[in-house]
Structure 1
Amino acid sequence: MITLDGVRRNYSNEVAIGPLDLTIPAGGVTALIGPNGAGKSTLLTMIGRLMGMDSGAIAIAGNDVARTPSKHLARIVSILRQENHFITRLTVRQLVGFGRFPYSKGRLTVDDEKIISQAIDFLHLQDLEGRYLDELSGGQRQRAYVAMVLAQDTEYVLLDEPLNNLDMRHGVQMMQHLRRAAEELGRTIVIVLHDINFAARYADRICAMKNGAIVEFGTPQEIMQDDVLTRVFDTPVQVIDGPHGPLAVYY
């Protein structure tokens, strides 16, 4: 379980995120949605301790994020930010191997190599593992980054817009992979998404943010309502019955 208690981040006297109070149950997929600038990425990076809080407390599986030693926290939670700055002359396998650093400290064991291979196989990257990152498409690189995070082998996985650079087909495949990771690998996945329909289809819970505050939290059925989405996004949204659940129409 992830808990936030009075979490606040101040950017200026006029701009702040929070205070945020939230409980994300263990297991499944929780999607963070909302308009640009709502605070989704800030929330995610504070949970992953890549950004500090000005007040409040965050705990992951009972571990205080601000006080837990980094080497211990890295075995509990992994995070993929939007901005990735790895050297492009790494191969896919070398990149995924970075996910094992909290365990191997750079000296990969046989067990590490096995987990790396499993992550590569899980994201269907077997044919690309010897290729360099600068030889890949944006979507292929994105899959490699997600494989790196899965190789870290943490129960909690935080992903900031992992569908960036993915076309329709590969976006669907990525969400299917993440759904499988939650169900088959027992991961708790918290993911920032721009596409509300992906959230409705693949998430167990949706957390909607607006103007630095959490304004809605519930199941897809509870969030996928005309009035709720219209209020969150400040634009008319109609929810219709689709072949696999509710669909938001807003164009």
Structure 2
Amino acid sequence: MIEIEHLTKAYYDQVVLNDITATISRGGVTSIIGPNGAGKSTLLSVISRLLAADNGRVTVNGMDIATTPGEQMATCLSVLRQENRFTSRLTVEELVGFGRYPYTKGRLNDDDRKRIADALAFLNLTEFKDRFLDELSGGQRQRAYVAMVLCQDTEYVLLDEPLNNLDMKHAVAMMKQIRRAADELGKTIVLVIHDINFASAYSDYIIAMRKGQIVYNGKPEEVMVSSVLESIFDTQVEIEQVRNQRIAVYYR
């Protein structure tokens, strides 16, 4: 499990994470929701060691992320950042192969190649494996990045806004693949997501944040109710989404 203890992070005089304590259980899909500026991506970045906390502690299966060697953590926890840019011109297969780096340091063996092929097949990318990333649509490219993370073969997978730049059709397809990864591959998936509709339809647990704090943490049916949502969001726009959750449920 992921245990977060009294986590604090600030930028100059702006507190972004304010004494956060929470536990994320093993298995399933946990979505982190909340308005812009709530601290969602910062929390995920601290858990994944992309950012250092000012105070507090995070452990993953008992390993302190601040003191555990990077190579060891990379075989337990993987992360997909919100923004991903590669300066080199890579094929889809080459990109996915980067997921094996913690194990091979670039020297792929037959087992690695099989895992790359399996990740490509899982995300329905086999036919695109020889294409360059800049030749793909936004949805195909996003699937390639997720395939790279899954190819790393870690128990914990952190995804920051995996639905970015995806239309409804491709967003639904992505959430189905994320759900499959949890159910069929046994991954513990934690994602930051803005669409509370998708969070309600595909998550096992939801962490709701506001102003740098966790204000609710529970199952979708406990969080996705009007009284709770009204205390999380400042406007009615996001709240209206959950009233139309039959859309995502239908596609699921």
**Fold-level similarity (TM above 0.5):** yes
Distance 2:248 2:168 in 1: 18
Deviation at residue 235 of structure 1 after TM alignment: 1.7
Structure 1 unaligned runs (5+)? none
Instruction: Please give the alpha-carbon distance, in whole angstroms, between the structure 1 residues aligned to 2:105 and 2:221.
Output: 44
Task: Output the TM-score relative to the length of structure 2.
Answer: 0.94
The change in CA–CA distance for 1:14 and 1:162 in structure 2 (over 3 A counts) is: closer
Q: 1:93 aligns to what?
A: 93
Shift of 1:87: 2.8
Task: State how many pairs are aligned.
Answer: 247
Structure 2 unaligned regions, length at least 5: none
Matched with 2:227 is: 227
The structure that is helix-richer by fraction is: 2
Task: Compare 3-12 and 236-245 and name the one that shifted more.
Answer: 236-245
Aligned equivalents of 1:100 and 1:180: distance in 2? 21
User: Which deviates more, 132-141 or 26-35?
Assistant: 132-141
1:152-193 C-alpha deviation (Å, 9 max, x unpaired): 000000000000121111110110001010011000000010
Segments of 4+ moved more than 3 angstroms: 238-247
Determine the C-alpha separation between the residues in 1 that align with 2:247 and 2:94. Answer: 38
| 1:4-43 → structure 2 map (5 Å cutoff) | 4-43=4-43
Q: Secondary structure at the match of 1:15?
A: strand
* Residue 151 (structure 1) aligns with: 151
Where does residue 175 of structure 1 map in the other structure? Answer: 175
Match of 2:110 in 1: 110
Q: Does 1:60 align with 2:64?
A: no
Contact 2:197–2:245, Cα closer than 8 Å, also in 1: no
Q: SS at the partner of 2:29? A: strand
- Name the SS for the 1:52 alignment partner: coil
User: Partner amino acid for 2:54?
Assistant: D
Aligned-residue Cα RMSD (Å) equals 1.6
Deviates more, 1:14-23 or 1:97-106: 14-23
2:245 and 2:159 map into 1 onto residues whose CA distance is 27
